[in-house]
Every structure is written in C-alpha cells, then in structure tokens.
Chain A
Amino acid sequence: MNVVVLVKQIPDPANPYELVDGRLKRGVAQKVMDPGDEYGVEAALRLVDQFGGEVNVISMGPAAAMEAIRRALSMGAHKGVLVTDDALGGADALATARVLAAAIKRSEFDLVIAGVESTDGSTGVVPQMVAELLGVPQSTFAKEIEAKDSSLTIKRQTAAGYDMVECPLPAVITVTAGVNEPRYPTFKGIMQAKSKPVDTVSLGDLGLGGDDAKPTQSVDAVNPAPERGAGEKFEDDGTGAAKVADLLKQLKVI
C-alpha cells in the first residue's frame, strides 16, 4: 500500500509568536512540523509496516518546510516532495489543495492521510478539497483505522460520539490527535533521513500557473476584539472555594 502523508511546517504552537515592542512578530518563533501531522505519519507507517509499500511525505511551503519532511523521514517515511514557489505566499485552502493534489498525482497512491486541520490555519477543509480534486472518496476525523483488501474501516469521531465508515481505496482520510502514539525519531532514523530521496518542485513543475495559486480571499482590516477585562484574582488561602460559591449564588445559578 502506497501512502501519501500531507504535512505542514508551522510556528511552534508551544511558543507560536513573540511580542516585540508590543507588536506581534511572526517568523521569530521556531518552526516545527504540525504536531497533528505526527499522527498521520504514524498511521501511514503502521499501514505500510502491515501491507508493504512506501510512505511519501508531501508538503507545500517555503524552503524551510523541508525540515517538516525530514522530521517525517526520520520517523521512517521513505521519500518526500516539497512544493515551494514564491507565487504560493498567502495561498488559501483551495489554492493549497490544487497544489497538493497536483503533487500527489505525480505518483501512484492508495491512500492520502492528513491531520484533521492545521494547528495554525485551522480551516479543516484542505484534505476534502484534495479528495474532490483527486476524484476519490474521503473519511475525516478517524480515531481508529483498519485496512482490509481494498477498503478501510474507519471509526470516525462525531460531535455526539462516533460513526463507523467503510471507505473504498484509493481515498483521502484525516486523523485526529490520539488515533495512535506517534513514534519518536531514533538516532538511526535521523541519520537515515539525510540520505532519503526528496524532491523540491515549483508550480510550473506541477503544470500549474500563478492563477491556480491565487487566493480569492484577503484580509481587509485587523482590529482588536472588544476587551474582556480581567476581574479579581485571589491567592487561595482556604477561602477561594467560598468566594466562587458566593459568586455562583449571586449569579443565581445555585
């Protein structure tokens, strides 16, 4: 089974941005592979361990996003493709999906795995768009994956509980955090990753033009949200619980 994993390099969510002279400064923080993507890489590695085949890691981003691909390779993925192009700055979900779908189509695949949504953008629609552009079915929010013959049985998280979904291959699926326990790269894995094949391609290499990557939505204005002022804060000296209970009583919820 040949599995494509989509990964994204994002500002470290543990320390996503810094305030410099009271202004939000992007690009200062360290970048990491989206922690949500580690579950996708792990899920792909397990399927390939079970059925054979290769894990191909695909990402779109600036040249530095190759680090996210290397991270996946050091976990055990076999090869990677980074799509990088100046024309892609500010790409929205549909533009991103067009690029990823074109990159995926360059080789044979049975399954595409992505995280449910990126931690920084959180649009939660790119994988489904990729599925449509590839002409394959999708199953999102997988919390358990079982493969047999040419289909997957997915336990799909829902707001109320879960569904069981039978999804024929090839397909696109998204995985939730907690679907598995992602492995840490070993020293050997990190060394091996350095010699694994990676490819850097541009929009032109994918047969796409600047129009395919042009975003159709733009930010007009950024305004501070109405302040929600902090209220009172007390060090608990044994009366904290009583203060909370008093407030609950005052608000008539007890």
Chain B
Amino acid sequence: MAKIWVYAELSHGGAVEKTVFEILTKARTLGADALECVALGPGATAAAAALGEYGATTVYASDDDTFSDFVAEPAAHVIAELIKQHQPSLVLAPFTYDARDTMARVSAKLGLTLHTGATDVLAVDKTQEAIFGGAKIVDVALGGNEPRIVLLRPKFTEAEPAGGAAANVVNVDVAVPDETKRARRTERHEEDATGPKLEEAPVVVSGGRGLQQAENFKLLEDLAAAIGNAAVGASRAVVDAGWVPYSMQIGQTGKTVKPKVYIACGISGATQHIVGMKSSERIIAINKDPDAPIFSLADLGIVGDALKVIPQLTDEVKSRKG
C-alpha cells in the first residue's frame, strides 16, 4: 500500500518549482497506490490544478504567508506532523536550496533516511546518483523506517503531463508554533536577467578562467546576442572570483542545464562543472589546453584561445544569419 508524496515547493510568487513536475512524472511510474503533494505558502491551493495535471490526486495545502516569510522551520514542523498523520512510504522533493533546508530538518526531527542529490528514483527504497562528475552511476538502497526522503536533481527526467483533473485540496490543519518562527526573510531580490533563462535557453554559452578577466564576459554576451535565444553561464571558479553573479553558475552547486547546444569557453571541465551540463544535447568546447577534461565530452573541440575564437565566432554567426 505504498503512498508517495511529493513536496511541491513554491517559488516566490507562488509558481510550482519545475522539478516538481519532473518528479511527479517519474513518481507515476513507481506503481504507488496514491500520489499526493504537500504545498505550503502563497499559491499552494492554486497549485492543485497543475499538480493534478501531472498525476497528483490530493494536495495538502496551506496558503499561509508564514511558510514563505520564515526559513525552513514552520514548513519542517508541518511536514513532519503530516507525515506522522498520513504515513507515506516515500517523500520526494526537488534538490533546491529551500527543500534541502526544510527536508534536512524533517529528516532530523523524525530520524528518517534522506538521500540528497539523487539522479533517479527506481522504487520506494531504491535510488540512483551520478558520482565523479557523472562518470559512474551508483544504485543506492534506502534502509531505515518509512518514509524515506529523496531530493532529486533538476532535469533528471522530462516532465510530461498525465492530463489528470485538479488535485483534491485538503487544507492543512496543523498549527504552526511560534517557536518555529525564528529566521525571517525580510527582503527578496531577483537579479535582472535579460534574454532567456539559463535553464530554459536552447543555447548556453558559458565561460571560465580561460576568459582571464571579468570584463571579457562581454564577449560571451555579444556571442549570445548574435546567436539569439542564448543565455550566458559560468563555471564556479569565476563566480567564486566574483566576476559574475552566482545566478549564472552552472554545476554541482549551481544550475543544471540541458540545452540543445552548450558552448564551453575557457572552461577546463572540473567535475563540479560537468555535473551541471553533461546532459546537454551537443557540447562544443573552446580551450587552450588540449588535455582539458572538457574535450572528452565535446562533440566539437577547438584547441585555441577562447579570447581570440569567441569574437571570430560572433562574426561568423552574424554572417551566417545574414
């Protein structure tokens, strides 16, 4: 009588985190008797339609601002209480900052097994994770009491709607104790991004140390603009160096992208980076070092100075577009 729960994380603004739909798509194939969601914060009730379309039959929902105003603790308290009441076999959630914060506390509260960064879920007690930059896939057996909690990496599978009716909304009736209202979000800032979003752009142009200095990212912006419908990303090294904001980071600690074409410029291909881009349909690498690991996954590799090749490429793209 397996019951699978999916934590439907809501972004600021109330939209359901995209990975949630991927998780629901996968969860439908696991042969559970019930597939249900928990959604907490503004937008929770409204999310029932979208969650239902992807196969959820019930959503335990609360639109209370408390869940978005306070960090992790109110949500963790309520989820733990709901788990005790309804006893799901498996709780799936996206591997986002907020879900990590919340589910880690749920795991510690109830002593539940937590697998983070999973790249697939095969059964209620079996997951997979890619290690060594995706060179190896390990099968993980989940022991301990039910439910186990699994946090899945973005884009681990394609989201496909099931055409289901809106999920049945069950209002969450768990009180939120005041002592869980401690760390409080007082402001939110979203960095202005022009052009398509990094995770959604069909072409991603990204830069690393080989660009030598922050100012040279302008070359990538020019190239992205010439291509059109392209976004600019970066390796962790240059984000840590403060050249570009973290919102541009691709990799283990940053975003996972899966574009039609990924163009890595002056990026050596550290494991940490590869994890975030290796599923791109086509990979093009431009790097001075012929032995750079990035070449081992590139469909097309150019051994050369990115600073020289990029402006030439921008011109070549413009001329081909006429």
Contacts and interface: CB of A to CB of B under 8 A. Distances in A.
B1 interface: no
Contacts of A247: 282, 284, 299-300
Interface stretch (A60-68, A185-193, A218-226): A218-226
Interface stretch (B49-57, B160-168, B184-192): B184-192
A248 B97 contact: no
A173 to B, nearest CB: 9
Contact of A244 (B97, B116, B302): B302
Given A128-B72, A224-B136, A234-B303, A166 B97 contact: no
Given A128-B104, A161-B191, A161-B247, A94 B114 contact: yes
A163 interface: yes
B301 interface: yes
B228 interface: yes
A145 to B, nearest CB: 13
Interface string B228-245: 111000001001111001
Contacts of B144: 216-217
Interface in A189-223: 216-223
A116 B187 CA distance: 21
A191 B237 CA distance: 32
A196 B107 CA distance: 36
11 contacts: A97-B108, A124-B116, A138-B183, A159-B255, A161-B189, A163-B189, A220-B139, A220-B141, A225-B135, A230-B301, A245-B316
Contacts of A138: 71-72, 101, 105, 183
A231 B109 contact: no
A236 B227 contact: no
A interface bracket (residues with beta carbon within 8 Å of B): 35 or more
Nearest to A167: B183
> Which among B252, B263, B301 has the highest number of chain A CB atoms within 10 Å?
B301
Contacts of B112: 94
Contacts of B190: 160-161
A180 B104 CA distance: 26
B289 to A, nearest CB: 12
B285 to A, nearest CB: 8
A171 B183 contact: yes
A235 B303 contact: yes
